[in-house]
């Protein structure tokens, strides 16, 4: 392999690491070179496929990789560009629900209308980036830590050694028995350990929540920072995943970028939750704790919200709704959105009482209480 | 084996692969690294491992992951009843404790589970670790040593190194994020839904009874469905099921009545059925007979044969 090519690959790997936060170290660089040696450089598509396979580790990274590759080796348009891939987050605009094929003209026009209607809604003024205030971040981190450590919604299905377990552990009893000359005198037991839930955060980024966005983002940042079992999404008229951005926010001056229609516009909770279900519902399981942070002022269709909530409730362990107004005196959840969601909630709390979430113990819906 | 050969051999076995796929498989074999395959449900992630085993003419060892899967059922376990029996039988031989312990913690008393089995084969097998996202995080840690070094450490015995490095395929449905440590040890491949032409080819390859026109209709309809906001988007597996159902019902082309009769093959959630009803105006043009567009082709002569679907056809 020529020195030039080697240098180019090493340089590109470094570029991916520095500019795009890829986890590409010397080992990957070495693998990349071996990969190129293996597939040759006769065909660009093969080279791209090989490097992609070595450097990427998620579909999100593939989308970034394709752009970075084209830019780094500055391909003139027209020559075989790396083929754009079809995966959930491939499109630039983050239009995750967009049709994956070229739509006929009539259809695209209709879509354009829908888009426009959403943008021109009275509250719409999408901003692209938002900063997480750093003041009080330490407290949020402590709070998140406590929530992660203390919240157990169920027992895991694993068996773990435990003094007062319910299942006999032959292996460890046998080993202990060797100490007494093969006589099994010290019984060992197994039990199901408590399970830490996964967190899914759905943050309402619409304008009506702007006053509370600081606490909301701090909480989300803290949770994503403290555990890998959390994923966060913001929505306004569209939905966007921000887990990765939150996790690396410190490196990016605590700014979230490229939010587009997911921040600072009107509120379409039902449509956004529906979008979540379509694209990310794989994250829901009976050990998922869903936290929705919103004031419930929905300008979208209420039946849609109801359907989405029912589906999320069915597929998760618990749903907590954090409403900034919940502890104002005389508050009744009378907004249409809140009314629709209420039967499916496990608990409704305010930002001030986020700590109370640690006390949740089991699956319980508010409808069952009434 | 280079990329072209891989594609050919996979195609011979009814698995129509694209270039990315072939390149990843080629690299996986050349670099001797595990391959992490992700993608939506029903695009042939698991099938790829089965076909690879067939292509390499070797054994497929499969580990299906589930919550609560532990080292004892994935890696190895001691044969306790045998150990217990051995202790009893050798009680009066006057052996020391250390000697007895060495005896009962030796290979004859070891039960190899899939992972240990995979590295102790004389001929490198294909190891499929299926749906790793279903197992819990702790289990990923067990795998790291195996995936990184192709060895397993058993405290009582020492380290067992792979005689022949298995070709490892790890699949995930992304129901949770996998650890970076695991990802770093693997090459990565994302399998998306196939584009129209490839889906037609897949249908034709797996089900020689389907004519070109029907296959094209199905593929076009599936492409339409995948752009809709269904809760469970149908994958290639569903296309194949559906095509098989149509063949069984002796349908040469799609029409609305047939669609309603067989919608259960592609959509498996009540809400999705309801949504499909509302889309009627949009999909109707897809079902209209396209005269002139298609030519009725002759059935393929090649022996595609080893797919499970074809076996069902009798």
Residues A106-115: tens digit of each pLDDT: 444 444 444 4
Distance CA A26, CA A24 (A): 7
Find out if CATH 3.40.190.10 is the number for domain B3-75+113-190.
no
Distance from CA of B252 to the nearest CA of A (A): 26
Write phi, then psi, for B195 (nearest 5 degrees).
-75, 170
The pLDDT value recorded for residue B45 is: 93
Distances in Å between the Cα of B55 and the Cα atoms of A39, B7, B11, B58 are 20, 10, 10, 8
For B156-188, what is each residue's pLDDT tens digit?
888 999 989 999 999 998 877 788 889 989 999
Place of tokens 């690959």: A9
Average pLDDT, integer, range A324-345: 84
Contact assignment for A85 to B190 by CB distance below 8 Å: yes
User: Which candidate in B27, B172, B178, B182 is best for mutational testing of the A interface (most A CBs within 10 A)?
Assistant: B27
Query: In this predicted structure, what is the pLDDT of residue A361?
Result: 63
Over range B25-29, report the average pLDDT: 94
What values do phi and psi take at B190, rounded to 5? -105, 120
State whether B78 and A49 contact (CB < 8 Å): no
What confidence score (pLDDT) does residue B313 get?
A: 37
Residues 6+ positions from A18 with CB-CB distance below 8 Å: none
Q: What pLDDT is attached to residue A251?
A: 75
Kindly report the nearest CA distance between residue A11 and chain B, in angstroms.
19
Is A99 within 8 Å of chain B by CB?
yes
- What are B232-256's pLDDT values in tens digits? 889 999 999 999 999 999 888 888 8
> Using one digit for the tens of pLDDT, what is the confidence trace for B68-114?
888 888 988 888 889 888 988 888 888 888 888 888 888 899 999 99
Exposed e or buried b for every residue in A101-116, given b needs 16+ CB within 10 A? eeeeeeeeeeeeeeee
Helix (H, G, I), strand (E, B), or coil: what is residue A320? strand
Secondary structure (3-state) at A272: helix
Averaged over A245-266, what is the pLDDT? 80
Distance from CA of B249 to the nearest CA of A (A): 30
pLDDT band for A201, please (50, 70, 90 cuts): very high
Q: From chain A, pick out residues whose CB is under 8 angstroms from the CB of B186.
A: 57
Contact A40, A1 (CB under 8 A): no
Give residues 308 to 327 of A whose Cβ lies within 8 Å of B: 311
B20 neighbourhood in chain A, CB within 8 Å: 49, 52-53
What are B47's two structure tokens? 């099938």
Please state the length of chain B.
314
The predicted pLDDT at position A57 comes to 87
Nearest CA to CA, how far is B312 from chain A (Å)? 31
Given a cut of 60, is residue B291 above it in pLDDT?
no
Is residue B38 within 8 A of residue B191, CB to CB? The reply is yes
Of B136, B177, B188, the CB nearest to A156: B136
Task: Name the packing angle between helices B212-226 and B196-206 (round to 10°).
Answer: 130
- CB-based contact (8 Å) between A178 and chain B? yes
In a mutational test of the B interface, the residue from A33, A46, A57, A183 whose CB has the highest number of chain B CBs within 10 Å is A57
Q: Give how far B174 is from chain A: nearest CA, Å.
A: 7
Task: Give the whole-angstrom CA distance, residue B164 versus residue B152.
Answer: 13
Residue B308 has pLDDT above 50, yes or no: no
Tell me which chain B residue has its CA closest to the CA of residue A101.
B227
Strands of A121-197, DSSP E = 130-131, 154-155, 160-161, 167-168, 189-191, 194-195
Q: Is A239 exposed, middle or buried (0-12, 13-18, 19+ CB in 10 A)?
A: buried
DSSP string, chain B: --HHHHHHHHHHTT----HHHHHHHHHHHHHT--EEEE-STTSSHHHHHHHHHHHTT--EEEEE--TT--HHHHTEEE-HHHHHHHHHHTGGG---HHHHHHHHTSGGGEEEPHHHHHHS-SS--EEEEE-GGGS-HHHHHHHHHHHHHSEEEETTTEEEE-SS--EEEEEE--SSPPPHHHHHTSEEEE--PPPHHHHHHHHHHH-TTS-HHHHHHHHHHHHHHHTS--SS---HHHHHHHHHHHHHTT-SS--HHHHHHHGGGT--SHHHHHHHHHTHHHHHHHHS--TTT--PPPPP-S-----HHHHHH-
Token reading at B157: 């015995």
Find, in chain A, the residue whose alpha carbon is nearest to that of B90: A182
Domains of chain A plus CATH, in order, are 3-72 (no CATH), 130-149+195-369 (3.40.50.410), 159-192 (no CATH)
Q: For A217-237, write each residue's pLDDT tens digit.
A: 899 999 988 888 898 999 988
**Per-domain residue ranges of chain B:** 3-75+113-190, 77-112, 196-313
| Contact present, A344 and A313 (Cβ < 8 Å) | yes
- Record: contact A182-B88, CB cut-off 8 A: yes
pLDDT band at A78 (very low <50, low <70, confident <90, very high): very low
Sort out which chain B residues have CB atoms less than 8 A from A277's CB and list them. 231
| A355 contacts A219 by C-beta, under 8 angstroms | no
| Residues 109-168 in A contacting B (C-alpha not used; CB under 8 Å) | 156-159
Question: Token pair 């597996």 is at which residue?
Answer: B237
Q: Which of B190, B196, B282 to mutate to test the interface with A (most CBs of A within 10 A)?
A: B190
- Across the interface, of A49, A182, A285, the residue whose CB is closest to B175 is A285
Half-sphere exposure at residue B279, Cβ-oriented, CA atoms within 13 angstroms = 20
Indicate the range of A156-165, B100-109, B124-133 predicted with least confidence. Answer: A156-165
Q: Do A53 and B24 touch (CB under 8 A)?
A: yes
Chain A hits for B230, CB-CB cut-off 8 Å, are: 278
Higher pLDDT, B75 or B300: B75
pLDDT at position A140 is: 86
A23 interfacial to chain B (CB closer than 8 Å) = yes
Chain A CA closest to residue B79 = A171
Query: Residue B298: phi, psi to the nearest 5?
Result: -85, 150
User: Where residue A362 falls among pLDDT bands split at 50, 70, 90?
Assistant: low
The listed range with the strongest mean pLDDT (A81-85, A292-296, B31-35, B276-280) is B31-35
State chain A's mean pLDDT as an integer: 78
Shortest CA gap A38–chain B (Å): 7
Beta-carbon separation of B184 and A49 below 8 A: no
């Amino acid at each position: 392999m020529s020195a030039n090519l080697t240098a180019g690959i090493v340089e590109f790997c470094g570029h991916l690491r520095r500019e795009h936060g890829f986890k590409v170290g010397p080992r990957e660089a070495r693998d990349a070179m071996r990969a190129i040696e293996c597939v040759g450089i006769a065909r660009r598509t093969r080279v791209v496929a090989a490097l992609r396979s070595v450097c990427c580790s998620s579909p999100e990274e593939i989308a970034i990789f394709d752009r970075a590759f084209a830019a780094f080796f500055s391909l003139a348009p027209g020559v075989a560009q790396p083929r754009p891939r079809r995966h959930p987050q491939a499109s630039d605009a983050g239009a995750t629900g967009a049709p994956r094929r070229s739509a006929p003209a009539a259809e695209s026009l209709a879509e354009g209308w829908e888009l426009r209607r959403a943008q021109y809604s009275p509250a719409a003024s999408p901003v692209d980036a938002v900063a997480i205030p750093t003041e009080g971040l330490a407290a949020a981190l402590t709070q998140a830590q406590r929530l992660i450590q203390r919240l157990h919604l169920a027992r895991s299905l694993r068996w773990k050694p435990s003094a007062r377990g319910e299942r006999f552990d032959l292996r460890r009893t046998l080993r202990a028995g060797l100490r007494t000359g093969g006589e099994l005198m010290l019984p060992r037991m197994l039990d199901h350990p408590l399970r830490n839930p996964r967190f899914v955060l759905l943050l309402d980024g619409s304008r009506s929540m702007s006053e509370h966005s600081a606490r909301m983002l701090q909480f989300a940042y803290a949770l994503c920072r403290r555990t890998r079992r959390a994923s966060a999404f913001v929505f306004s008229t569209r939905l966007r995943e921000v887990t990765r951005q939150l996790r690396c926010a410190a490196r990016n001056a605590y700014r979230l970028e490229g939010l587009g229609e997911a921040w600072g516009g009107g509120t379409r909770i039902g449509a956004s939750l529906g979008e979540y279900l379509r694209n990310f519902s794989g994250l829901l399981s009976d050990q998922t704790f869903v936290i929705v942070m919103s004031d419930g002022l929905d300008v979208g269709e209420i039946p849609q919200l109801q359907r989405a909530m029912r589906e999320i409730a069915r597929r998760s362990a618990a749903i907590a709704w954090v409403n900034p107004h919940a502890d104002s005196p005389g508050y009744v959840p009378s907004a249409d959105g809140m009314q629709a969601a209420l039967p499916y909630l496990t608990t409704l709390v305010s930002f001030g009482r986020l700590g109370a979430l640690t006390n949740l113990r089991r699956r319980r819906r508010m409808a069952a209480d009434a | 084996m280079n990329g072209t050969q891989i594609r050919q051999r996979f195609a011979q076995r009814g698995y129509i692969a694209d270039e990315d796929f072939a390149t990843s498989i080629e690299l996986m074999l050349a670099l001797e690294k595990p391959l992490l395959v992700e993608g939506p449900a029903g695009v042939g992630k698991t099938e790829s491992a089965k076909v690879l085993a067939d292509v390499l003419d070797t054994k497929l060892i499969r580990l299906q992951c589930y919550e609560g899967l532990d080292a004892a059922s994935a890696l190895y376990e001691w044969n306790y009843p045998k150990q217990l029996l051995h202790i009893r039988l050798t009680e009066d031989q006057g052996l020391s404790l250390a000697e007895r312990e060495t005896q009962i913690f030796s290979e004859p008393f070891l039960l190899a589970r899939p992972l240990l089995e995979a590295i102790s084969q004389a001929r490198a097998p294909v190891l499929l670790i299926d749906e790793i996202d279903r197992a819990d995080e702790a289990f990923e840690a067990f795998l790291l040593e195996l995936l990184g070094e192709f060895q397993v450490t058993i405290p009582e015995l020492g380290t067992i190194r792979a005689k022949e490095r298995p070709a490892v395929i790890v699949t995930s449905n992304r129901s949770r994020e996998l650890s970076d440590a695991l990802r770093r040890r693997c090459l990565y491949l994302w399998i998306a839904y196939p584009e129209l032409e490839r889906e037609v080819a897949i249908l034709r390859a797996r089900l020689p009874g389907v004519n070109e026109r029907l296959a094209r209709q199905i593929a076009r309809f599936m492409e339409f469905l995948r752009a809709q906001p269904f809760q469970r988007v149908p994958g290639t597996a569903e296309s194949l099921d559906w095509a098989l159902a149509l063949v069984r019902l002796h349908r040469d082309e799609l029409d609305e009545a047939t669609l309603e009769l067989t919608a259960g093959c592609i959509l498996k959630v009540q809400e999705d059925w309801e949504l499909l009803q509302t889309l009627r105006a949009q999909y109707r043009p897809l079902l209209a007979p396209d005269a002139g567009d298609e030519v009725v082709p002759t059935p393929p002569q090649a022996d595609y044969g080893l797919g499970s679907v074809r076996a069902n056809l009798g």
